[in-house]
Amino acid sequence: MLAAFACAHPVQAGDVAAAASNKPTVVVIGTGGTIAGAGKSSTDTSTYATATVGVDKIVQAVPELAAVANVRSEQVFQVGSKSINDDLIIKLAKRVNEVLKRDDVAGVVVTHGTDTLEETAYFLNLTVKTTKPIVFAASMRPSTALSADGPLNLFDAVVTASSAEAAGKGVLITMNDEIHTARDIVKTNTFKTDTFRSPYGPLGYVVEGKVLFYRNTARRHTRDSEFDIETIDRLPRVDIAYSYSSSDAAAYNAFAAAGTKAIVNAGTGNGNVSDSLVEPLVAIRSRGVFVVRASRTGSGTLYRGPSFKDDDKRGWIAVDDQTAPKARLLMALGLTKTQDVDALRALFTRY
């Protein structure tokens, strides 16, 4: 029957070329992660090896992509995202930037692990100067698992990267039918497929191959950012210290001794600093190390209450609503531009 159908409806080479030319070209860049993972059993949803399947095979496993775009793929590196470092995110950002300069490329999809996706995506959101869509796709389950979420997340990412409506919205993430902005998204659960959340909600959804946007991002990103990946080859060291009851200055002093340029304090509640840490942090700041106040809660703006009244005198910086990992990246980028504390403070309300 199939042979008869083929004879009755011959497809000419010109028809194929015309169909291909009418579809946008999307480049899928692989970096590893669970979406590139495999388990021994189909019921292994949490026990598996990450970063074992090449991006070309990931793309081939979703033939429906061919109906959406002309998809090319390339592997930039292959690691579990728990092992991502500054050198790798710079390498990725530079490659994405190069690919998007091509006139024939409409957008880029990055396959990535979920552990540090929010950091990598945010870095690209701040440094890749383009209006073309950059969309991250990931999964919480390996491709070998029952009800694997990777294939649909990848399909939704390619649909979004192919959409003219996604242009100019900065770096996006498609997970669990939702479209999120890299600025806001946070991983909130160790195993659930709806782990990624934004405190202000998703920008939109992908429903059966259709992109639906309901809001835009408000802060600077990509094309309008003052940071340019073409001028960045390395980042200054910035560390994060987590505050807890009975915490002391040991970690802060160790980071300072190791040569850090700034310490982000993931403080309790409203980015609070315990009484016992005030003098040690003042001393660390006097040694030229910047102190940045963030919150360990995971969301919420830092309201400038009484505990912030001496920040200017101490030379401390407070974030707006950035999580500690994102504050680390923004601070590191800021330090590539300036050492002025007021200019650095302004970054957190600008981005």
**Which residues are catalytic, by number?**
34, 114
Torsion, CA 85, CA 87, CA 93, CA 94, rounded to 10 = -170
CA–CA distance, 214 with 338 (Å, rounded to integer): 36
Burial of 213 (0-12, 13-18, 19+ CB in 10 A): middle
Q: Which long-range contacts (CB under 8 A, 24 or more apart) does 252-260 make?
A: 252/277, 252/280, 252/281, 252/284, 253/280, 253/284, 255/289, 256/284, 256/287, 256/289, 260/289
Contact call for residues 47 and 140 (beta carbons, < 8 A): no
Output the six-digit token pair for 14.
Answer: 């010109």
Q: Which residues are annotated as a binding site for substrate?
A: 81, 114-115
Rounded to 5°, angle at Cα 126 from 287 and 154: 130
Q: Which residues are annotated as a binding site?
A: 81, 114-115
Burial of 323 (0-12, 13-18, 19+ CB in 10 A): buried
Residue 59 CA, chain-centre distance (Å), reads 20
CA–CA distance, 222 with 315 (Å, rounded to integer): 29
Strand-pair category, 25-32 with 70-79:
parallel
Helix, strand, coil share of the chain (percent; to 5): 35, 20, 45
Contact call for residues 26 and 70 (beta carbons, < 8 A): yes
CA–CA distance, 27 with 158 (Å, rounded to integer): 9
Taking the alpha carbons at both ends of the chain, their separation in whole angstroms is 59
Residues ≥6 apart with Cβ < 8 Å to 311: 293, 317, 318
